[in-house]
Structure 1
Amino acid sequence: MAGVIRRNKDFHQVGTGWNVVLNLIAGIFAFLCVFPFLFVVIISLTDEKTLATDGYRILPAQWSLEAYRYVFQSGDMLLRSYGVTIFVTLVGTVISLIMISLYAYAISRNSFRYRRFFSVFAIVTMLFNGGMIPTYMVVSQLMGLKNTVWALILPLAMNAFYIMILRTFYSTSVPEAVIESARIDGAGDFYIFLRIVLPLSLPGLATIGLFSTLGYWNDWFNALLYIDVPNLVPLQSMLMRIESSIAFIQQNSQNSSLSLTALQSIPQDTSRMAMVVLATLPIIFAYPFFQRYFVQGLTVGAVKE
């Protein structure tokens, strides 16, 4: 009996030691993942002259907010761009979730007669694309969305890959017996979907919602194609235009003394890092709201006991 107790004690000590080692490895890995962004924040708060003389350092000799002052010189335009991006992200994510969840639920049910047709239809769009010019003609001329906020929302609302993920989640996580019992009780399709399927599908919906949120927040290409009105320029597109202005001054600095003077007054490297911080920070704060269901949603289709 004493030998069994001793072996259990030794096993417990070994297990505790491995837990410490594994937690240490996980902590180091997490730090390595977070450190690049922290370093970007440090660079954005570094004085431009100090950065030019000392290079990149974790603890710079002189701190400065000049990069953020330069970016915020646009004033109301930057705040307006933030507002446009937030509106597009929120409305676009809601519309995307509604359309994708309804489409995926329909093709996940074996009772749907045209299930195979619409599944193949979605998969084909993943493999073939009409091209940039036809897409531009449809959005700007046929639908008349040019220089409207809907040109930033509707082209990204549907995604075939997200449909396939959510369809798999419905098929594996929503028991068919529950749906059949609800039908026997007289429930309709929309009642079943809203009251039974959606509450059971929160992990999958949170995963798709996070992907859609990231897609809308980081989108700048649609604004480049369809937006010419300054009031509708989103954040990513505006930061890209600021970066283009800096690059233009750099290229023409040798041809004009005025450009050279302007170039010397611009915090070039630190302003780029400040743009990265301004574009990334809000979405970092949004991630914890999805984290509760995100890991569970990523295990869609996993083997279950």
Structure 2
Amino acid sequence: MSIKESFSDRILKMFFYIAIALFSVYCLIPFWSVIASSLTTEASLVKNGYMFWPSEFSLDAYKLIFQDNTIYKSYGVTTFVTVVGTALSMIFTSAMAYTLSVKSVKYRNHMAFYIYFTMLFHGGLVATYLLISKYLDMKDSIWVLIIPSMLSAWNMFLLRNFFASIDDSIAESAKIDGANDAYILFRIILPISLPAIATIGLFYALSYWNKWFDAMLYINNKDLFPLQYLIQRIMNNLDFINQISADVTLPNFIPPAMTVRLATTVVTIGPIIFLYPFLQKYFVKGLMVGAVKG
């Protein structure tokens, strides 16, 4: 039997819907302004400023970015690094987090302290560079963008705390039935931990997608430039053009600096933003309700 909502409850619910809708529009306005402003000419942007609809439609900024196949190679590198890196990171992070969450594991607190110690103290940039480039010899390799950052101590502790909140009787029941730890992790623990897996996976994916500093240090091969690093090089070239144009006056010439900046914003954040609709359904609570038999 359904309970009829009161008039005050309907008014309150309507108020919440309107507030959420207005907040969503408020969040979308800057993004839409970036898209519209990237589709206009540099002269129009300088004259009229940011706009919600391009007064002079132009694709010059995107033509400059996609002028050759370099950007497509960078998209491929970034996609590979993001997909493979996120998958490997989740496997290792889940395995380590589950190991440290099992109370029967000997010296698990000592291992947790060693991992936590790396969050407080590390060798620094010089030591890291020497280790990766000289001793591991990983320069100009696509794996240098994945392996050094494959395990995040912070993400591991977040996932460990979530695993520790799962009732021990679930794993104990599986062990009684003859399941080993690998089976328990991949067939029982991970399926009921999808909200945590989706959250940590999103953290890793964003980190790999926005990776550029490692490429600046270790990558010299243009075919291995990730997207973010290539975009940064394009922006540096535009700054150089602006410096030249400030000294040399050319009639009716305005360097496409702002429109290219806006276009690069759209190019870089476009694909990764589609992850959210697929992961949104996992950001829920209560998946473990009824998982333990009374």
Q: TM-score scaled by structure 2?
A: 0.91
Structure 2 gaps, min length 5: 287-294
**One-letter amino acid of the counterpart of residue 31, structure 2:** F
Which residue pairs with 2:232 in the alignment?
240
Work out whether 1:95 is the aligned partner of 2:84: no
Structure 1 gaps, min length 5: 1-7, 298-305
Query: Cα offset for 1:261?
Result: 4.9
**One-letter amino acid of the counterpart of residue 218, structure 1:** N
Query: Cα offset for 1:72?
Result: 1.0
**One-letter amino acid of the counterpart of residue 87, structure 2:** V
CA distance in 1, matches of 2:19, 2:31: 20
Query: Cα offset for 1:254?
Result: 4.0
Work out whether 1:283 is the aligned partner of 2:272: yes
SS in 2 for 1:219: coil
Partner deviation per Cα, 1:37-92 (whole Å, 9 max, x = no partner): 1111111012211111122222342221111111111x111100000000000010
Q: CA RMSD in A?
A: 1.9
CA distance in 2, matches of 1:138, 1:228: 18
Partner deviation per Cα, 1:159-196 (whole Å, 9 max, x = no partner): 01101110011111x32111112222222111222221
Identity fraction in percent: 42
CA distance in 1, matches of 2:49, 2:98: 54
Higher-helix-fraction structure: 1
CA distance in 2, matches of 1:262, 1:276: 29
Query: For residues 251 and 266 of structure 1, do their structure 2 counterparts lie closer, same or farther at Cα, with a shift above 3 Å needed?
Result: closer
Partner deviation per Cα, 1:123-167 (whole Å, 9 max, x = no partner): 112222221111111111111111000111112211011011100
Q: Does the Cα contact within 8 Å between 1:70 and 1:266 map onto a contact in 2?
A: no
1:51 aligns with one of 41, 45, 66 = 45
CA distance in 2, matches of 1:272, 1:21: 38
Q: Does the Cα contact within 8 Å between 1:249 and 1:263 map onto a contact in 2?
A: no
**One-letter amino acid of the counterpart of residue 163, structure 1:** M
Work out whether 1:158 is the aligned partner of 2:154: no
Query: Cα offset for 1:226?
Result: 0.5
CA distance in 1, matches of 2:252, 2:101: 58
Q: Which moved more, 1:209-218 or 1:22-31?
A: 22-31
Query: For residues 273 and 37 of structure 1, do their structure 2 counterparts lie closer, same or farther at Cα, with a shift above 3 Å needed?
Result: same
2:174 aligns with one of 182, 187, 192 = 182
**One-letter amino acid of the counterpart of residue 229, structure 2:** S
Which residue pairs with 1:140 in the alignment?
133
CA distance in 2, matches of 1:179, 1:262: 74
CA distance in 1, matches of 2:212, 2:245: 28
Work out whether 1:218 is the aligned partner of 2:210: yes
SS in 2 for 1:144: coil
Q: Which moved more, 1:76-85 or 1:244-253?
A: 244-253
SS in 2 for 1:253: helix
CA distance in 1, matches of 2:246, 2:15: 57
Partner deviation per Cα, 1:192-216 (whole Å, 9 max, x = no partner): 2222112112221111111100000
Provide the aligned length of Structure 1 versus Structure 2: 284
Q: Does the Cα contact within 8 Å between 1:47 and 1:66 map onto a contact in 2?
A: yes
Query: Cα offset for 1:252?
Result: 2.8
Which residue pairs with 2:110 in the alignment?
117
2:195 aligns with one of 203, 217, 221 = 203
SS in 1 for 2:255: coil
Which residue pairs with 1:38 in the alignment?
32
Q: TM-score scaled by structure 1?
A: 0.88
Query: Cα offset for 1:264?
Result: 2.9
